[in-house]
């Protein structure tokens, strides 16, 4: 006579089932000097963390069960940490991403792949915030931080909520804090990469460096170099100019300025307040799309 499963065993079996089902959509991603995870987003298309992938070299995918397939890079967006890879069609199901609400304290499951075998971690949502911009200026639709211990190979795997919904991709933030690139961001960026191979970014044609402004506690950016064919040169910006305002707003250093150069900035005209040789001047600059190189 069998002994009825206790609630803890039932929970364990349920979690195992969640991992087994999610792992059918999760792959290991191998580039020359890195190992991470990824997941099937559409048939033949895999989303992986851009920051982990090498800039060049062959990429291999280890599918669930251990089969190996060559992958080609479709496109990458360093600002949101999303890369899109293409492989020959497989029989493994794509992950069904959902923009489900998250709350601090909610249980969460992380599923990655190591050499084609599933790896898992369990924990809780530690913080949920609104939309934010990454250091490189990418728009992330929600700030979701997890309290769990994730193997390095698990980066790029799926984050699942207690209802087994795939809510986004696992990535490492500062100090190895585990973050989630939410489903809404992935769907937007991956679709753009599939169509265009890249996500447009704004380009000023200026080499910039933060500097302390004289006579105040403010911070500006000094123009260290000017692309002679870039929008900065066309606007009359010169080497040695100090940018102190962007559209009449103090910029407080280089990072806010870089964050302003998102996809929506391309084609826009901005007013730059400059300090040139101690004198105030301004320039109107039309932001162009960042060139490939």
pLDDT, tens digit (0-9, with 9 covering 90-100), for 12-68: 988 999 999 999 999 999 999 899 999 999 999 999 999 999 888 899 999 998 999
Q: Domain limits of the chain?
A: 1-198, 202-289
pTM: 0.80
Q: Output DSSP code: residue 260.
A: T
Which CA distances in Å does 210 have to 32, 207, 213, 220?
35, 11, 9, 6
CB-CB contact of 45 with 85 (8 Å): yes
Q: How many CA atoms lie within 13 A of 180 on its CB side?
A: 36
Dist. CA 279–CA 72, nearest whole Å? 52
User: Each residue of 70-125: pLDDT tens digit?
Assistant: 999 999 998 899 999 999 877 899 999 999 999 999 999 999 999 999 999 999 99
Domain 202-289: CATH superfamily is: PDZ domain (2.30.42.10)
Could you say which architecture CATH assigns to the domain 1-198? Beta Barrel (2.40)
């Amino acid at each position: 006579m069998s002994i009825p499963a206790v609630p803890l065993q039932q929970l364990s079996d349920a979690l195992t089932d969640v991992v087994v089902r999610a792992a059918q959509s999760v792959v290991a991603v191998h580039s020359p000097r890195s190992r991470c995870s990824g997941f099937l987003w559409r048939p033949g298309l895999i989303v992986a963390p851009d920051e982990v992938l090498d800039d060049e070299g062959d990429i291999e995918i280890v599918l669930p069960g251990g089969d190996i397939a060559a992958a080609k890079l479709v496109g990458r967006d360093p600002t949101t940490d999303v890369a899109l890879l293409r492989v020959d069609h497989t029989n493994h199901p794509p992950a069904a991403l959902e923009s489900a609400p998250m709350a601090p304290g909610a249980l969460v499951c992380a599923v990655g792949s190591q050499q084609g075998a599933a790896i898992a971690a369990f924990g809780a949502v530690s913080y949920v915030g609104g939309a934010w911009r990454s250091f490189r200026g990418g728009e992330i639709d929600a700030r979701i931080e997890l309290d769990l211990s994730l193997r390095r190979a698990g980066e790029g795997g799926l984050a699942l909520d207690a209802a087994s919904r795939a809510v986004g991709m696992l990535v490492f933030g500062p100090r190895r804090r585990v973050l989630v690139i939410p489903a809404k961001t992935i769907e937007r960026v991956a679709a753009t990469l599939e169509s265009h191979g890249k996500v447009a970014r704004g380009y000023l044609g200026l080499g910039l460096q933060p500097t302390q402004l004289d006579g105040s506690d403010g911070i500006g950016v000094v123009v260290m170099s000017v692309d002679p064919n870039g929008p900065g040169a066309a606007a009359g910006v010169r080497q040695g100019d100090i940018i102190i305002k962007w559209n009449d707003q103090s910029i407080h250093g280089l990072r806010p300025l870089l964050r302003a150069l998102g996809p929506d900035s391309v084609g826009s005209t901005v007013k730059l307040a400059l300090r040139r040789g101690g004198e105030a001047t301004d320039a109107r600059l039309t932001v162009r799309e960042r060139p490939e190189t």
